[in-house]
Amino acid sequence: MKKLLLLSAALLQLFTGCVSSQKALNSGNFDAAIYKSIHKLQRNPANNKQIIVLEKAFYKAQQTDFDRIAFMQKEGSPDKWDDIYAVYDRIKSRQQQIKSLQVLNLRDKNKQIIRQATFNFIDVDNELIQSKQKAAQYFYAHGNSLLEKGGRFNARDAYTDFIQVKSYYSIFQDVDDKLLAAQEAGTTKVLFKMQKDNPGQLPPSFEQELLKISLQELNRQWMRYYTSDIKGTIYDYNIVVNLKVIDVSPELVKEKYYSETKKVKDGWEYKLDSKGNVMKDSLGNDIKQPKYKTIKCDVVETHFSKSARVAGTLDYIDNHSKQLMHTDNISSDSFFEDGLVVVLGGDVNALTPETKAKIGKRPLPYPDPFSMLLQAGATLKGMVKDLLLRNTAILQ
Note the pLDDT of residue 14: 42
Count CA within 13 A, CB hemisphere, residue 237.
22
Residues 241-255: tens digit of each pLDDT: 999 999 999 999 999
Note the pLDDT of residue 18: 53
DSSP line for 262-302: EEEEEEEEE-B-TTSPBPB-TTSPBPEEEEEEEEEEEEEEE
Separation between Cα atoms, residue 102 and residue 114, nearest integer Å: 17
Note the pLDDT of residue 198: 67
- Does the pLDDT of residue 278 top 90, yes or no? no
Lowest mean pLDDT among 47-56, 283-292, 342-351, 373-382: 283-292
% of the chain residues with pLDDT over 90 = 77
Residues 181-228: tens digit of each pLDDT: 999 999 999 999 988 876 667 888 888 888 888 888 889 999 999 988
Over residues 295-324, mean pLDDT = 95
Residues 6-55: tens digit of each pLDDT: 445 444 444 444 578 999 999 999 999 999 999 999 999 999 999 999 99
Over residues 303-321, mean pLDDT = 95
Note the pLDDT of residue 4: 46
Separation between Cα atoms, residue 203 and residue 369, nearest integer Å: 9
